[in-house]
Structure 1
Amino acid sequence: MAKYMLIMRGTDESNAAMMAGIDEAMAATRRFIEEMVKAGVLLAAEGLDDPRRGVVVDFGGEAPVVTDGPYGETKELFGGYFLVDVASKEEAVEWATRVPAARGSKIEVRRVAGSDEVPQAGE
């Protein structure tokens, strides 16, 4: 088994579409979460707060620069994630295709590296 993160990425337009039908979107998401729980693959699921309430810490210069949201030039924002424990990347992708996402959204599928894969000091 391997852990995969299904990262929800939306645009201003897809987020607005989702918010226009928020009750239906939340009901569909609850049903999807129930399916993953019944299948025994869901480890965690969280949605992220409005990006206007967040900050960005930019390490592009000598000292980190903190900038309040909203962010300029942002075409895609992370909206939340599902963390699943599945047998393969293909199974993670299959779950990602079933996420009840608004048109224009994307789901990024990334394997979570195991602790034995993270470089240790002195390596």
Structure 2
Amino acid sequence: MRFVAFSKVKDESQVSAPPTTEAMVEMGQYMEQVVKAGVLVAADGLQPTAKGAVIRFDGSDRTVIDGPFTETKEVIASFSILDVASKEEAIEWIKRSPNLPGGVGEVELRQLFEPEDFADVATDEVAAFDDNVGVLRRD
């Protein structure tokens, strides 16, 4: 089972302020544990929303809104993808993580879809498409 963990903070300045050396060392030690356990698939911090954009879909229309996103109540500061046996195991790994920048925040944990989740709709046409682009396939 794969889960994505979104680390969210309340204040944009928590994302844009550089971390302390101590915080970097603490996070590095945690990441080393997750890697050695074979659980970590990917992880990274995100730049402030001022460097981002939102692309809004409305039917066939697309609208691009450049950051910063000042009206956002929460900002995703980082993400990680964990490959674990259960939701409970993913939660235990996240609970071991060092505190978020600024000391207050939360982590949203969401399970990723797996190819077998689409077995009911995986027609020959879908399978052929997947053979070409690998959307549903995990290599």
Tell me the number of residue pairs that the alignment of Structure 1 and Structure 2 aligns: 121
> Offset at 1:19?
3.3
The answer for the alignment partner of 1:48 in structure 2 is: 46
The aligned amino acid for 1:114 is: E
Structure 1 unmatched runs, 5+: none
Q: For each residue in 1:36-95, what CA deviation from the matched residue of structure 2 results, as whole angstroms up to 9, or x when unmatched?
A: 012111111111112100001112476111011001311111111111111110000111
Corresponding residue to 1:39 among 28, 37, 51 = 37
The aligned amino acid for 2:104 is: G
The answer for the alignment partner of 1:12 in structure 2 is: 11
* 1:59 alignment partner, SS class: strand
- Once residues 73 and 36 of structure 1 are traced to their aligned partners in structure 2, the CA distance between those partners, rounded to angstroms, is 34
The answer for the alignment partner of 2:114 in structure 1 is: 114
> Offset at 1:120?
4.2
The aligned amino acid for 2:49 is: P
The list of structure 1 runs, each at least 4 consecutive aligned residues, that deviate by more than 2 angstroms after superposition, is 18-22, 118-123
The aligned amino acid for 1:7 is: F
Instruction: State TM-score, norm by structure 1.
Output: 0.84
- Once residues 85 and 13 of structure 2 are traced to their aligned partners in structure 1, the CA distance between those partners, rounded to angstroms, is 31
Structure 1 residues 33-112: aligned runs within 5 Å: 33-60=31-58, 63-102=61-100, 103-112=103-112
* 2:17 alignment partner, SS class: helix
Higher RCO, 1 vs 2 (CA within 8 Å, ≥6 residues apart): 1
Q: Of the two, which has the highest radius of gyration?
A: 2
Q: In 2, are the aligned partners of 1:5 and 1:84 still within 8 Å (CA)?
A: yes
The aligned amino acid for 2:11 is: D
- Once residues 60 and 50 of structure 2 are traced to their aligned partners in structure 1, the CA distance between those partners, rounded to angstroms, is 26
- Once residues 22 and 57 of structure 1 are traced to their aligned partners in structure 2, the CA distance between those partners, rounded to angstroms, is 33
> Offset at 1:21?
4.8
Identity, in percent, stands at: 36
> Offset at 1:22?
2.5
Q: In 1, are the aligned partners of 2:12 and 2:48 still within 8 Å (CA)?
A: no
RMSD across aligned positions (CA) = 2.4
Structure 2 unmatched runs, 5+: 127-139
